[in-house]
Amino acid sequence: MKNAAKTLGAGLVLAATAACGAGGPGAPANTSTPPVVTTPSGLPTSLPASPPVAKPPMSRPTVGPPPSDKMLPPSQVETRLPAQVSAENGGLNVHLELSGCDQARADLAEENARRIVVHVTIDHGKPGQMCPQVIRYVVLPVKLAEPVGTRTVVL
């Protein structure tokens, strides 16, 4: 792209120089050597760079919940939902993708020494209801009596 701009600019300068010096009364006869085009040393020889474009950070995905060191490994979570679970402040956070009119809630159903059972309810709205086609990322907090530790979380 820069080479094309340089070539186009040089061609325009050459054409303008040839047009200014050609023809007219008292013009010198055409010589076989092409005119020499010089540019002052203080002027830039290329077009200015385009403004910088903001790029998303490379260390994070651009969709979905942000990654966290507090996310539980998939081996510790049993679920049939497309969800992730994080442990924070002695409780759980269930990270879900919802669409349009969806509403969700998470309730603690069981908590013992081996596992934590969380009942997740997703309401998809009324039949025939017009809903926007968007994806939202929600975090549903669940309060626990004790921190998760190594217990299995069942959604």
Residue 4 lies in a domain: no
Sheet containing 135-142: give its strands across: 83-88, 91-99, 135-142
Residues 6 or more apart whose CB falls under 8 angstroms from that of 38 comprise none
| Full domain range(s) for residue 115 | 74-154
Residue 150 CA neighbour count, 13 Å, CB half: 0
> What are phi and psi for residue 14, nearest 5 degrees?
-65, -45
The reported pTM is 0.55
What pLDDT does residue 118 have? 96
The predicted-structure confidence for 63-112, as pLDDT tens digits, reads as follows 555 556 688 998 999 999 889 999 988 899 999 999 889 999 999 999 99
When pLDDT is averaged across residues 141-148 and rounded to a whole number, the result is 93
CA distances from residue 114 to 88, 92, 130, 147, 155 in whole angstroms, order as listed: 19, 15, 43, 12, 14
Domains in the chain, number: 1
The predicted-structure confidence for 5-64, as pLDDT tens digits, reads as follows 566 566 655 555 555 555 555 555 555 666 665 655 655 566 666 666 666 555 545 555
